[in-house]
Structure 1
Amino acid sequence: MSILEVENLSISFNQYTDGLKQKNVNVISSLNVTLEEGEILAVVGASGSGKSLLAHAILGILPNNANISGTISYDGEILTAARQASLRGTEIALIPQSVNYLDPLMRVGNQVRNSVKVGDAVAAQRKVFERLRLKSGVENMYPFQLSGGMARRTLLSTAIVSGAKVIIADEPTPGLDPVVIKEALENFREFADNGCAVMLITHDIESALTIADKIAVFYAGTTVEIAPVENFNGDGEALRHPYSKALWRALPQNEFIPIPGSQPRPNNLPSGCLFAPRCPIATPECELAQPEMRELRNGRVRCIHAT
């Protein structure tokens, strides 16, 4: 069952140029994703493709110069700013990319305890710290005293104890050793198996494939494909979009074939299909309009040539 739906989300930012003139820079266009209860959706794509902005839009923490269109619904109701504020940290939890989200003036044990909504907060915090191999003395430390890996485990702890129905993990594993990465990923799988919906934003496709149910591929601020995890196999023949196939073949464990060209900048987007300038099967028709997302072979794709 769908618990969170993002439909035709577009985000732009007002920016000042020379002479105090303003311009509007579009960074996300017609983005669509759906989170299902009991499933993990991994969101992958190059830096600058809009992955973290999607998370911030869902939580309502974009800066004031952001312009948003489209709809975000949670549990069947539109997410207004007031509803986002009431659900943030309770029913929708973020494990942020930056450890700067930790309060520098509060001991980390207390920060985790503040996320406990039911039961003994101290016991819950100590149990999760033990589970994530954070020693007992860590609870009395301030964020500046933590290593990068310890800080990330602290952020992960807040989500584990929150009891949230939706967890958005934005690059949660950099800086962690392989054992802790494996345990963190297993925790996300456990969340989903207990009915939670998890969005895992990551560059690490290989790790995502070990726990995800579906993969959403982002490119230049939009979704180009959403596919079952089993489609990421072999030489990518089961994938639908040319970018998804090229991204899969570019991995070291596959053919390690680089994708010619580079992702366009938000202030210089091509007309029509955003991937067309780099696409080996592009035709003049691809330059006319950005394709709509459509259903295809138990997935979704934004490409007029996909079969």
Structure 2
Amino acid sequence: MERKSTAVAGPVLEVKNLSVSFRMYDRGLEQYDLKVISNLNLDVRPGEIVAVAGSSGSGKSLLAHAVMGLLPENASVEGEISYGGKLLEQKDMERLRGKEFALVPQSVTFLDPSMKVGPQVTGPRPSRERRQRQREVFDRFHLAEAVDRLYPFQLSGGMARRVLVSTAVLSGASLILADEPTPGMDLEMALEALQCFRELADEGRAVVLITHDIDLAFQVADRVAVFYAGTTVETAPSGDFLRGPEALRHPYSKALWNALPQNGFQPVPGFQPYAKALPKGCLYAPRCPWRTEECGGEIPMRELRGGMVRCIHAT
């Protein structure tokens, strides 16, 4: 059943034409800039979950790190990242993260190895109410009371991910960026974690859910943004992905749907291009059955059938 979004206000987070490059060194120590994200667009509103789908290397995690201001020193950023309509600078991101922004990182190494789990979730000197809330969240994720006193190395991978999700649930942040929060969890726990994000959105939070478990994400998300080779190729209501490829707009979105296990694991010839050797125009054109000569030109995002698509042939 298609969800009807409760989001009505302006975007909490709006990303416009985001490009991220890294200063790299070639043979002979020659420097060059490797652009790994280009012209990426995304927005999420209060009360909404936007799931971000795409293959590895498509820029999903880099988007989260750019929003949080966690890119390394050799990165350069172009484009706009706005929070509540205000354009953000690096100092704003540093001020907001951990308060207005919460990240569920992809790697469990983000947990401090020298600190027990309990204080990492509740923070130093927590109130009685916060400790009680933490216990309720841990109970929900089947984390025993003894887990509070364990160090991260004593946790299984699935337990560590549940701890990270618990931290975001308790954060009180207006914007939650969940980067692959469910790997290592069994199906029951993965669904429970996604339901937690759904409840946070229903309370008015904005959630960006980056995931490879897109068939599960379709069940809780309001919209789905599809990334390919560092850019957004389609944004559509999640119901379109539940209906099937005929409801989708971009040929890559259709291919992604057909590649899901329940849809036959149908492969597409070719590979996602390396950032140093991107084709001109449409980045998907070398693999696309619709490609024409016009695909070598500039391909902007455009509105189509209640969504957005970066394809001149989509109808």
Correspondent of 1:9 among 18, 21, 38: 18
Kindly state the Cα deviation for residue 253 of structure 1 after the two structures are TM-superposed: 1.3
Residues 272 and 119 (structure 1), Cα distance of their counterparts in 2 relative to 1, 3 Å cut: farther
Q: CA separation in 2, counterparts of 1:179 and 1:246?
A: 28
Correspondent of 1:292 among 272, 293, 300: 300
Correspondent of 1:306 among 299, 310, 314: 314
Q: Which residue of 2 aligns with 1:34?
A: 43
Q: Which residue of 1 aligns with 2:231?
A: 222
The aligned amino acid for 2:226 is V
The aligned amino acid for 1:39 is E
Unaligned 5+ runs, structure 2: 1-8
Kindly state the Cα deviation for residue 127 of structure 1 after the two structures are TM-superposed: 2.1
Kindly state the Cα deviation for residue 25 of structure 1 after the two structures are TM-superposed: 0.6
Residue 44, structure 1, aligned to residue 53, structure 2: yes
Q: TM-score, normalised by structure 1?
A: 0.97
Residues 233 and 153 (structure 1), Cα distance of their counterparts in 2 relative to 1, 3 Å cut: closer
Q: CA separation in 2, counterparts of 1:7 and 1:262?
A: 26
Q: Which residue of 1 aligns with 2:86?
A: 77
In structure 1, the residue corresponding to 2:193 is in which secondary structure?
helix
Correspondent of 2:139 among 130, 141, 161: 130
Q: CA separation in 1, counterparts of 2:201 and 2:87?
A: 23
In structure 1, the residue corresponding to 2:13 is in which secondary structure?
strand
Cα deviation per residue 1:230-289 (whole Å; 9 max; x = unaligned)? 111344111111111111112221243211111001111001100000000100110122
Q: CA separation in 2, counterparts of 1:80 and 1:162?
A: 22
The aligned amino acid for 1:292 is P
Q: Which residue of 2 aligns with 1:113?
A: 122
In structure 2, the residue corresponding to 1:237 is in which secondary structure?
helix
Kindly state the Cα deviation for residue 121 of structure 1 after the two structures are TM-superposed: 2.9
Judge conservation of contact 1:214–1:226 (CA < 8 Å) in 2.
yes
Correspondent of 1:276 among 264, 285, 288: 285
Residue 53, structure 1, aligned to residue 96, structure 2: no
Cα deviation per residue 1:181-214 (whole Å; 9 max; x = unaligned)? 1110110110111111111101111101110110
Aligned residue runs from structure 1 range 221-240, under 5 A: 221-240=230-249
Aligned residue runs from structure 1 range 201-280, under 5 A: 201-280=210-289
In structure 1, the residue corresponding to 2:218 is in which secondary structure?
helix
Judge conservation of contact 1:116–1:162 (CA < 8 Å) in 2.
no
Q: CA separation in 1, counterparts of 2:165 and 2:116?
A: 16
Q: CA separation in 1, counterparts of 2:280 and 2:16?
A: 21
Unaligned 5+ runs, structure 1: none
Aligned residue runs from structure 1 range 83-162, under 5 A: 83-114=92-123, 120-162=129-171
Q: CA separation in 2, counterparts of 1:190 and 1:217?
A: 23
Number of aligned positions between the proteins: 306
Q: CA separation in 2, counterparts of 1:185 and 1:51?
A: 18
The aligned amino acid for 1:31 is L
Q: TM-score, normalised by structure 2?
A: 0.94
Residue 189, structure 1, aligned to residue 198, structure 2: yes
Judge conservation of contact 1:235–1:254 (CA < 8 Å) in 2.
no
Kindly state the Cα deviation for residue 140 of structure 1 after the two structures are TM-superposed: 0.5
Kindly state the Cα deviation for residue 80 of structure 1 after the two structures are TM-superposed: 1.2
Residues 17 and 226 (structure 1), Cα distance of their counterparts in 2 relative to 1, 3 Å cut: same
Q: CA separation in 2, counterparts of 1:111 and 1:300?
A: 40
The aligned amino acid for 1:84 is M
Q: Which residue of 1 aligns with 2:186?
A: 177
